[in-house]
Each structure stands twice: as C-alpha cells, then as structure tokens.
Amino acid sequence: MAGSQLKQLKAALKEKGLIGQTNTSKKSKKSKTNNRNEINRDEKLQNLNNIRTQFNKFDQKINRSKHDVSIIHQGKFVKAGSKEHNATSSKNGAMLRQMKMQYDLEKHQSGKTGGFLDKRFGENDAHLSKEEKMLARFTKERQSNSKKRGLFSLASDDEQQSDEDDDGGFSLTHGGAALSLDEEETIKYVDEDTLQPAKKKSKNEVMKEIIAKSKFYKHQRQQEFAKTQDQIEELDDEFGDVMDDLRSVQTKGNAFSTKTPEQIEYDSKVRELTYDRRAVPADRTKTDEEIRKEHEEKMKKLEADRLRRMEGFVDDRDTQGDDLDDDFWGGEDSDNEEDGFTVKDSDNESGNEGDEDSSRSASSKLPAVVMPFTVEEFIKEMSTIDLSKQPEYIKKICETYKPNLGHGNKEKMNKFVGILFEYILHLADNFQDFEPFVVILKKLAESYNEHLVETVRQHIDLIHNKVGQALTPGDLVFFVVIAYLFSSSDHYHIVITPSLILMNEILSNIIYHPRDLSNIAQGIFLVDVLLAYQRFAKRFDPEVINFIEHAVFMISPEPEKINISKMLSISETAAKNANVQFCMNKSEKFADQQPLSIKSLFSEDLNKSLLIIKLISIMNKCVTLWKEKSSLIEILDSFISILKHITKYNATVSGPLLTKFTKLHDNLVKDRKPLALQHHRALAIATFAPKFEENFNPDKKSYDLDRERQELSKVKYELKKEKKAALKDIRQENKFLAREQIAEKKDMYDQYHKKMAGIVNSIQSEEGAEKNQYEREKKQRKGRR
C-alpha cells in the first residue's frame, strides 16, 4: 500500500465499504438493500477497530534486540519487545498516568473542605450591629471596584463617580427603597411613595466619613490624656502640703498615744533590730582534701623554720621549734594512717597504735631523716634503729621527700622504693619480721614503680643464675612479695611471667637433682606460691602435678623396696651422689604439727610428716582450683594413687580425701563423652513418583468429586489471586507516592538554593557597585588634592 497515510486510510475505509460508492451491479434494488443489511453494526465497529489498530504504528512497534530475551508475562514466557510485552508497558503507563492525575487532584484538594466559603465581611462578628456590618460590606465592595481603575488615575472624583454609575454600581435597599446615611450616622428608610431616590455616596465621601470618625476618636483620646496629665501635675504641686498635714497629724497622734511605756520601748527595740547585721551561716566543714592541704602547708612552714634554725637565723618563730617533731607527725589532729601507711606496734600484733604520749616519745628518739642512695647505706642506718620503730622512720622519709615539697624528690623516692624492696629481702634472709614494710612498699609501688620493676627483674636474673644451688630465705620471700605487689592473673606480665617460668625451672631441677629434705620442702613452698598465682587465672601447671608425685615418693617410698632411683626416675648413682637420705619410715607417725614457716624450711630437723600433710592440702587445693578443667580425671588418677600410697602409713590423714577424690572421679568418668567427628542426621533422598490420572484433561483444574469442596477451593484460589493483585497495586502505589514526594522535596530544595543564590548574587553585586563607587570617589578626591 503506497502513498501517504491519509490515502492509505481512505483506501482501507473504502475497501471495507465504510465510505465512498460501492461496486454497482445490474441487480435489482431489492438485492442492493439485502447486501447493505448484511453488514450490520457489529461488523462495522469491528472493521473500524481493525483499521485503527492497523494505522496506530506506535502500538505495533517492536523493540528489536540483538538476542532474543524471554520474560514471564501473566504466567507465560513472552518475547521481550513483542506485542504482548508492549501491551503490558502501555497498560503500566496508563496506570502511572492515572495515579499521577489522582495524586495531583488530592494534592490540590488537600486541606480543603467541601461547600462554599462565606467571605462576607463581619458575618461571624458578634460585636458589630447589622447596620455596621452593612456599612463595612458596602465600603469593602466599593474598594474592590475601585481596583479596576488604575492607582494613578487622573480622573476626578465626579468622573469616577459617573464611571461607577455607568459601570453598574449597586446601592443598598430595604423593601425596594434605597437606604441613605444622615449626619447622625443612622439609617433613614425612604418611603415607598417617594419618587426621588436617595443619592448614593461615592467612595470619596465614604472614606472622608471614616477619616473624620477616626480623627474625632483620636481627638477624644488626646483630651482625656491631657486631662489626666493636668490632674497628675496638680497632685504633684500639692504633695508637699499634703505631707506636711500628715506629719502634723502623726505628731499629734503620738502626743495622745494610748500605748504603755513597755509597748513604746518594744517598738523602739524592733526598729533598732531592723538595722542590726543579719545572721550569716557558720563556717562550712572542710573536706579531707582541704585538711590535707592545710597540713602540708603547715609542714612546709615548719620545715622552713627548721632549716632557718640550722643555718643560724633566729627570730620570733624559734619558739615553735620545740614542737617540730610533734607537728611533723600530726600531733593530736593528724592521722597516722595518712597516704595509706599504717605502722604496726611491735608489742601489739593486732596493729593498734599507741597513745599520743608514746608516739611523741618514740618520734623524738628517731634520728634525723636522711635519704639513702644504696641499700648498704639504708641497712647501716636502720641498724641503729629499733625494729619496731623502723616503719615509723620509713614513713618519716616518705613525708619529708614528697614530690611536691622539692625538686628531684620524685626521682629520690623512685630509687628509695627499690632500696626498700631489697631491704625486705635482707630482713627475710635474717628471719626478721618484714610484714609492716611490705604494707608500706605496696602503697609506695602504686606511685613509684619504675625503679622497682628494674630492681625486681635484676633479682630474677640473680635467682636464675643460682638454679641448681641452695636458695636463700630471701629468694623464697621474693616470689611471695611480687605476687602481693603486682597482678598475677595477667596473660603476660613483665615481672610475673618470668617469675612463673623461673619457679617451674626450680621445681624441675629439684625433681631430677634433689639434694636434701630441705630442698624438697622449699619446692613444696614454691608449689603453694604457684597455686596462689593462679587463684584468678586458674591456668593449669603440669610441673605442680609432677612435683607432687615425686615429692611424695621421695619422702615416703615403698616400704619393701629400697631402690629409690626406680621410683623417682633417677639413676642409682645420682641418688647416692646426691646423698638422698630423707625417706620416712613406716613407724613414723603423723602428729599434729604447727604450720610450716620459712625458718623451718632451712632447719636440719625438718618433720617429714608435716611435709606430707602439706602435700595433701596442696592436692585438695589443686582439685578445687582446676575443677572446671577437662583434664581433672587424669589429675585425680594421679592423686588417688598417691593417697593410696600414703594410706599405707596413716589412713586417718589421707582417708577422707581419698574417699572424696574417688567419688568425684567416678562421677566425672560417667559424664565424660569421647571425642567424635561432626555428626549429621541422615537425610532421605527425595523421590518424585508421578501421579497418573486415567481421565486426564489439561483444561480441568481439579479432580475432586465433591462439588462443594471444589467450589470452595475455587473461591479460595480467586481470593488469593485478588489479594495478591491488591497487595501488588498497593506496593506500586506506595512506591509511586514515595517517588513523587522525593521529587517534590528535591524541587523545593532546588528552588530554595536558587533563591538563596540569587539573593547572594544581588548582595554581592550591590557590594561590588558600592565598592566601585567608593573607589571612584576616592580617586576623585585624590585628583582634587
């Protein structure tokens, strides 16, 4: 089909017999009528629809793609870009256009209600009368009509009035007669019989009346204000005379007063109290920090006075020199436990301090405070002081060399803490009481620990060099003190971790190279310290279990066997060379002994039964400490065999603990489950057996014989389908609303920024113009000069 679309359309219509002259024939008119009747209305409409579809090229357009892509459309696979796909797109486009129209309509009608809006002036104002409402409406209407003429109209009022009359202005009427206002601002009703209508006021006349009324009310207010001011001035002028009269009346009243002399005296006292000073709050209670600060200032002052006296300066303050020592330790008002230091009285184990007189006498006998620089100097200085007074002397050193009292005191205190630590080990080597010094060291270590850590690590190296040799009491006390000073539960610690390794090394050396019974006792002491280190971390230490096994069999071997080396895994020659002769005989009894002390560990007559009791208590402590470990069964196996061996010597000591361990071991064995690979439940293989229908029909949806159940299933399916379609529409509508709202917000923000940019540009242009004007003026002034 060639030619333009118009020619093609005419040809198609003519071909269908819709326009133009049809083919003529020699048939009768009756036959022609019958042929025309054959083309009924339905066929005509169908032909028109086909022609419309044929000439709508946009609906027939197919998007060509390099590769064929199929999509799911209404449950079927449809080629992308085909007619079915285009039909869906056009349908979606129509839905979007419909939603857009609905959204715009709702947006336009938002915040509005149905019906009409009554815009009549003063309709709902209850304070206006009917006449005032009518006048106000008339004035507003005339003003709205005047807007039709230009603001700068050159026509006169008469011309404007004639224009208004020509334009069809209206007038107020009542009963068919016109209304007019007289000078008394009252409405006069004109009789119906009068033939001459009242003249309608122009806008100029109405506005003049309003202005006149406004000026009249304003003049009234001014008169009232002037009258009030005159009255005030008159009162001000007569104020002096009025006050004189009042004073004279008051004096006369006092002359004839009926008050008694007591009442008059009371009144005078009340007037005097009004001029007295008001009560003020008492001095507030000072805080601990303020009290401590005052004490430090007082100590500074007394120390300065003491230094002046030492240098030979004598003044009025020498009278306070006798109380220097008393005030240095605080006297009655000071606290001997300041800064956390507590001094234990050597004669009183409970730690109670003596009375004031005894403390003053003790402090007065102490020598002058001197900061030591080496441990030898400190030992020599402390040798001159009684042991019970040494903690007090150390406290005096700490008070004298506080960092805030002088430059360099902090470095001195750092070194002094290390010296004090070495002095504690010196006291332990001599079996002297060192507990009060450890308490002081603990408090000092919180503030000064740099030099202390270096001293401790140096001492660890010294002990490590002595492994395999005899240990000193100070070496054992060293491991106890550092657990008191530092945290022993850390995963890694610069002091605790090397100490743990060193103690385990010493235990291993004692196991395989024992020297005497004292050496084993020292190992038992280290085992107890190791367990104390793990009271929080609860880490398992295999050397502890190994040492307990060997220590028990070294102290109490099998009675029938003499070959000790077989039980200890030590060669016979090594045992003889080590002179191991500390085996306990079966005849020895487990008597109740005093607890082990460090001094007793180094004595020659060490009680073996006391060591066995200590080992039994350590076994109980190990089980309590490691009760949550999975290896507790193996630990109990070892301990049960050891306790059975000890039972041969004395069943009363190990019997109860053996029974406890045996029951615990049996319960753990029952609860233990062996390790296994990851186990999954067996899953059956899914089978898909086809279902055969004898009378299969692809058009038949259900084979249910029950008619009611079949109808119910059909209704459920339709309901589910409708629900799914409704939810889809709701989601689509919500997405559309969200997109529209976002677009509106973006548009609003763009307009705002555009407006602000315009304002900024206008300001900048004005500033630039002003600046240029200023520069021109400046140049002109310079040229004039």
Average pLDDT over residues 159-176: 50
Summarised one tens digit per residue, pLDDT across range 606-653 is 788 888 888 888 999 999 999 888 889 999 998 998 888 888 877 777
441/305 same-domain check: yes
Average pLDDT over residues 361-378: 71
What's the pLDDT at 400? 86
365/292 same-domain check: yes
301/434 same-domain check: yes
Question: Helices 473-485 and 409-429 sit at what angle, rounded to 10 degrees?
Answer: 140
Average pLDDT over residues 8-35: 66
Answer yes or no: is 139 within a domain. no
**Domain extent at residue 227:** 173-254
Q: One-letter amino acid identity for 232?
A: I
377 neighbors 420 (Cβ within 8 angstroms): no
Q: How many CB atoms sit inside 10 A of residue 360's CB?
A: 16
Answer yes or no: is 245 within a domain. yes
Answer yes or no: is 85 within a domain. no
Of 496, 509, 397, the residue nearest 448 (C-alpha): 397
643/563 same-domain check: yes
Summarised one tens digit per residue, pLDDT across range 480-513 is 999 888 888 888 888 999 999 999 999 998 888 8
Name the domain count of the chain: 5
445/361 same-domain check: yes
Can you tell me whether residue 181 is helix, strand or coil?
A: strand
434/305 same-domain check: yes
308/352 same-domain check: yes
Cβ-proximal residues to 368 (8 Å cutoff; 6+ apart), any chain: none
Between CA 506 and CA 498 the distance in angstroms is: 12
Of 252 and 370, which is predicted with more confidence? 370
Between CA 49 and CA 43 the distance in angstroms is: 10
Question: Does the pLDDT value for residue 334 go beyond 60?
Answer: no
501/647 same-domain check: yes
Mean pLDDT of the chain: 75
What's the pLDDT at 351? 40
499/614 same-domain check: yes
Question: Of 670, 702, 719, at which residue does a domain stop?
Answer: 670
**DSSP alpha helices (H): ranges in 495-607?**
496-512, 517-533, 542-555, 564-568, 572-577, 598-601
Summarised one tens digit per residue, pLDDT across range 106-142 is 888 777 766 666 666 666 777 778 888 888 878 877 7
Answer yes or no: is 481 within a domain. no
What's the pLDDT at 686? 81
What's the pLDDT at 90? 75
Answer yes or no: is 102 within a domain. no
Answer yes or no: is 159 within a domain. no
Question: Of 626, 646, 670, at which residue does a domain stop?
Answer: 670
399/324 same-domain check: yes
Question: Of 640, 670, 700, at which residue does a domain stop?
Answer: 670
Q: pLDDT-derived band of residue 97, with 50, 70 and 90 as boundaries?
A: confident
Summarised one tens digit per residue, pLDDT across range 548-605 is 988 888 887 765 443 333 333 433 333 333 333 344 444 444 444 456 778 888 877 7
181/240 same-domain check: yes
Mean pLDDT lowest among 12-26, 392-406, 540-554, 743-757:
12-26
642/498 same-domain check: yes
User: Would you give the end-to-end CA distance of the chain in angstroms?
Assistant: 93
What's the pLDDT at 277? 65
Answer yes or no: is 161 within a domain. no
Sequence-ordered strand ranges (E) for 74-219: 76-79, 173-174, 177-181, 187-189
Of 80 and 558, which is predicted with more confidence? 80
What's the pLDDT at 758? 92
Answer yes or no: is 9 within a domain. yes
Mean pLDDT lowest among 137-141, 160-164, 234-238:
160-164
Question: Does the pLDDT value for residue 364 go beyond 50?
Answer: no
